[in-house]
Chain A
Amino acid sequence: MTTNLIDIQHADVIMATSNMAENHPVGFQWVMKAKERGAKLIHVDPRYTRTSAAADLHVPIRSGTNIAFFGGLIHHAIENNLYFKDYVVHYTNASFLIDPAFKTATDGDGLFSGFDTSKKTYDRSTWKYQLDADGNPKRDLTLKDPHSVFQLLRRHYSRYTPDMVERVCGIPKAKFLAVAKLYCEHSGPEKTGAITYALNLTQHTTGVENIRALCMLQLLLGNVGRPGGGVVALRGHANVQGATDLELLFHELPGYMAQPLRDVHPDLATYLDKETPKGGYWINKPKFFISLLKAFYGDAATEKNEYGYQWLPKRASADAYSHQHIFVDMYAGKIRGFLAMGQNPAVGGPNAKLARAAMQKLDWLVVNDIFITETAEVWKAPGTNPKDVKTEVFFFPMAPAAEKDGSLTNTMRLIQWHEAAVKPPGDCTSDAAFIVRLAHRLQKLYAGSKKDRDQGFRAANFTYGEHPDEPNMELVLKEISGYAARDIADKDGKPLYKKGQALSTFAHLTDDGATAGGCWIYGGVINETPDGKLVNRAASRKPADAKDYLGHGWGFAWPANRRLLYNRASADLTGKPWSEKKKLIWWDPQAPGAPDKPGKWVGLDVPDFNALLAPDGKNGDKPFIMRADLVGALFGPLVDGPFPEHYEPVESPVVNLLSKQQRNPVAKIWEVPDEKNVLAPVGSKEFPYVITTYRLTEHHLSGVMSRQLPFLAELHHSHFAEISHELAGELGIANGEMVTVASPRGKIHVRAMVTSRLKPFVVDGKKVHQIGVPWHWGYKGIDALPGSKGDITNDLSATVGDPTVFIQETKAFVCSVKKGVV
């Protein structure tokens, strides 16, 4: 997220689009603090939830129509002149001129210029700036040029009128206008608004574009980089932020650098050339990347061998190996062995029936978990004859967080250290211990290998501290943070770092092999005194106080302990806060700055800017330093288009009213044999209802960690589906009665929770029913609490993905509901 949860208390309006109170209850305290101050809370969700209960306004939205909603707000802000003009003109690319050949989806009936119908991809060559003679983008600060981003944006969203929002999203026009008024009027120097999101936006075949739409609205209203504003991404698992930073992902390497593609990045030079932008802070990418290779391969990484670049595994294609892809390939027999470390795809992944069938085809399956999961018992899943499953399953009992040292990075980029409270019982080990032990064994196995491809792994270090089997996690964090790979001196030859000493900041990383850093953005989380003592800043514990409301003394927020990203935007062009009320950092011309001249950025946060770059210096007025053009992107060429466009979910009961394009033309739909991924046609009579799947405060994800804990398992009676009184009435279903929910992929039996918290939508004049089903249940649980076991909701969902990160569409698809167990 661009901001910090603590800062949300300063928002004047908060639009929660995810279910924050239920899924981020601890962070939600800051929303409640803002409310205590008088801030308004809007909750946009198809269901009325515990977040709605706290909200001033609940806006029910049909699942999967988020771009229509945000587009409507953008339209409203532009047409009613409610955007923050100075901010938009100077801090975004609104004034930049786009190639005249570019066409918005308004002119292409749902398609942008460059669509290749046969390949189903875009040729993006027209999606670019017009450049002047010096190669700089052309601008029109009046925003009047028809090719300016602003005018194109306006044209693109001209169709997203309040009437259209009502017809598409099912939000009554009056309610939409109330939201638009409430949210947009909190914009400008004196006011800010924050928008929170999570899976409500991501889990769609338009997932990435949904989030962009949100970001664009925030940029238009001047809500990024300012106190009380922000794009509040609410992440998942306690350490999912850390997992993404360190890139336990298929397509990136630690610190948000692409995992090389086989055909695109044959060597290091090509990789760096293609992946390093020409402007913005990312011009330093070679330093980060080469330091990463040094962290991986140590002394074996040299300039001569491209720092070991060729040892890195390369991706065969953009979607290999995304989560869903893995199971499709596994089902096809292409993957023979699988390590499921701390995940439960038998329940948690989309199209879980496919996932289970795929895992039942493996030769071997290793499950590392703190409980015996459904995945560990996939060989005896209901409906399976264990005799038919040849998969050999190994289970390793692991230690949960409380039983090991380490850090977790939470949703606000805050790295927090924890120490083991108790020793793990019995044979349980930490994941790190498991990994290094496995690595050491494999290294022994490959000790004699002369093959080129094995040399990197042989050289890699898996020993941290004195005990090869028990890594010292602080040393792991030190490697991530960065250290000198050899003695380093400064320009004048004065020694700066001894070999092995931790670097104090990522600014000291170099591209000459002198430094190693496992994840550049974490640079500085571990410091080292000259006498070799480590200072773990993730373990610092000074709470926020009146002097430092953001709590810089608590943990360490990457990058460089900044709490609000792009915070240069909290000051105006001249470096003064936009208003006294909303001040965060500002240019102090008197403060001691560079040796030759005074002046420095100072304030309540660590500036996310060159602290000595005066507002009137070159690019001193451009806050978005991570972008090549240094401004916020209203125009942002993604895979699916530079402006988000509404498409219906892959499965939808209605046709797209905004264009001829029913669904995202570039969405990923996997072909799976044996009817394992059948999709319902648009407007299917057999599967007439929209279904969304979601979480409950009381349960955790696939439920392994909550259904097996009595205190949590007892909080919900049993698996259920939330159904409106209207639909229950039509089907004759009473509260508490068993129902059968089915999709073209599978069916589940659950109890009906009939509630007024769900209401049918009126979409283009027709009634559309939506139901909600939490997905926490599976076939393991506590025998004494029978309700702790239940059918697997993901047996209903499909194997489809968005075109950028291939996330599943589990927030909106279709189903049928039948009374009783049928």
Chain B
Amino acid sequence: MARTLAMFTDTSLCIGCRACQVACKQWNELGAEAPEWTGTYQNHAHFTDQTFRLVRFVEEPKPSGDLAWLLMSDVCKHCAQAGCLEACPTGAIYRTEFGTVDINQDVCNGCRYCVASCPFGVVHFDDGSGTARKCTFCNDRIHNGLGPACAKACPTDSIQFGFRDELVAKAGKRVETLKGMGFKEAQLYGADTGGFLGGLNAFFLLLSKPSTYNLPEHPRLPQRNVVVDSLLSIGSALVVGLGAIVSFRSRGKGDGDA
């Protein structure tokens, strides 16, 4: 496998301009969707099959009473342990040699199991194509020496693209700097390969706790319980089976042979 590539989204540098969101649509030829009223600038409310990058706008009062408007460009996390990939029964979802997670649109049959299996609510079913879609990490671009379209468009380098190890080192320093500047809650999300889901190949720097950004504090791999659940089902089968065997072995007392 090639050296792992990553996207690092540093929300402390994000100005919410949504150039990333638009660049993604343009490059990936995604369609526009009638927006919903979210009460703020954010649109759309969630990732969709036509929206792979989504800039979130979170109004949150700071302890000082001042307002903070947290701006965050959200995207598929390209999890090292990816719920979507584990779920996919066709092998349409696969890991590229760069460590990113992509969906092969020609293989996907639209079962939507991945949709329910992403801990971040990223994958979305496309009614038009009948397949599941999400950020491709610009698979076509990275194989041709170009960075992701969203990172390319970002004017403030809030989205950075590069080798994962290098980005993680850089991100670590940035957190320290920010803490020094008084951002006490500055933290990395998904940078640690020893942390949840084996680390995210699209990881983030957040200025507040993950839940503020609508991110799960401790995302877990959905498939972690297959074995337990299966064993319990087998147990259940044994009990039911026993009941049936007992019932059928007992000699019938009543009338009516069949």
Contact = CB atoms under 8 A, between A and B. Distances in A.
Interface string A24-56: 011011001000101000000000101111100
A579 interface: no
Interface in B1-59: 13, 15-19, 21-22, 25-26, 31-41, 43-44, 59
B67 A48 contact: yes
A735 interface: yes
Nearest to B39: A735
Interface in A691-716: 696-698, 710-716
A259 B209 CA distance: 60
A697 B34 contact: no
A52 B69 CA distance: 8
A53 B18 contact: no
A625 B223 CA distance: 73
B174 to A, nearest CB: 8
A784 interface: yes
Given A50-B15, A53-B15, A787-B35, A717 B59 contact: no
Interface in A721-774: 735-736, 751, 753-757
A50 B58 CA distance: 11
B40 A786 contact: no
A549 to B, nearest CB: 17
Contacts of B59: 755-757
A198 to B, nearest CB: 16
Contact of B34 (A25, A712, A736, A786): A786
A22 interface: yes
Contacts of B18: 697-698, 715
B38 A717 contact: yes
B71 interface: yes
B156 interface: yes
Given A25-B155, A711-B22, A715-B43, A785 B67 contact: no
B15 A28 contact: yes
A204 interface: no
A401 B37 CA distance: 34
A755 B40 contact: yes
Contact of A29 (B69, B156, B181): B156
A773 to B, nearest CB: 15
Contacts of A718: 37
A787 B69 contact: no
Given A21-B15, A48-B67, A54-B15, A714 B155 contact: no
B33 A29 contact: no
B157 interface: yes
Contacts of B145: none
B187 to A, nearest CB: 18
Contact of A50 (B26, B34, B71): B71
Nearest to A53: B69
A174 B105 CA distance: 59
A8 to B, nearest CB: 13
A556 to B, nearest CB: 23
A382 to B, nearest CB: 22
Chain A, interface residues (CB within 8 Å), range: 35 or more
A26 to B, nearest CB: 5
A426 B31 CA distance: 25
Contacts of B40: 753, 755
A820 B43 CA distance: 24
Contacts, number: 102
Contacts of B156: 25, 28-29, 32
A810 B32 CA distance: 32
A608 B178 CA distance: 38
Contacts of B44: 714
A36 B177 CA distance: 8
A327 B3 CA distance: 63
A50 B32 contact: no
Interface in A496-526: none
Nearest to B36: A717
Contacts of A757: 59, 67, 69
Interface in B162-189: 177, 181
A753 B39 contact: yes
B106 interface: no
B61 interface: yes
Interface in B103-155: 155
Contacts of A52: 67, 69
B16 A714 contact: no
B255 interface: no
Contacts of B257: none
Given A714-B43, A716-B41, A755-B59, A25 B36 contact: no
B68 interface: yes
A801 B18 CA distance: 34
A53 B71 contact: yes
Nearest to B51: A714
Interface in A448-470: none
Contact of A716 (B17, B43, B70): B43
B40 to A, nearest CB: 7
Contact of A714 (B13, B35, B41, B61): B35
16 contacts: A28-B156, A32-B157, A48-B67, A697-B18, A713-B32, A714-B34, A714-B44, A715-B22, A715-B35, A735-B39, A754-B39, A755-B59, A757-B59, A757-B69, A784-B32, A785-B32
Given A52-B67, A58-B66, 10 more contacts: A25-B155, A28-B155, A28-B156, A29-B157, A48-B67, A50-B71, A53-B70, A697-B17, A717-B43, A787-B34
Interface of B: 13, 15-19, 21-22, 25-26, 31-41, 43-44, 59, 61, 66-71, 155-157, 177, 181
Q: What 8 A-B pairs have minimum CB-CB distances, sorted nearest first? A: A710-B32, A53-B69, A714-B32, A21-B15, A25-B17, A32-B156, A26-B155, A717-B35
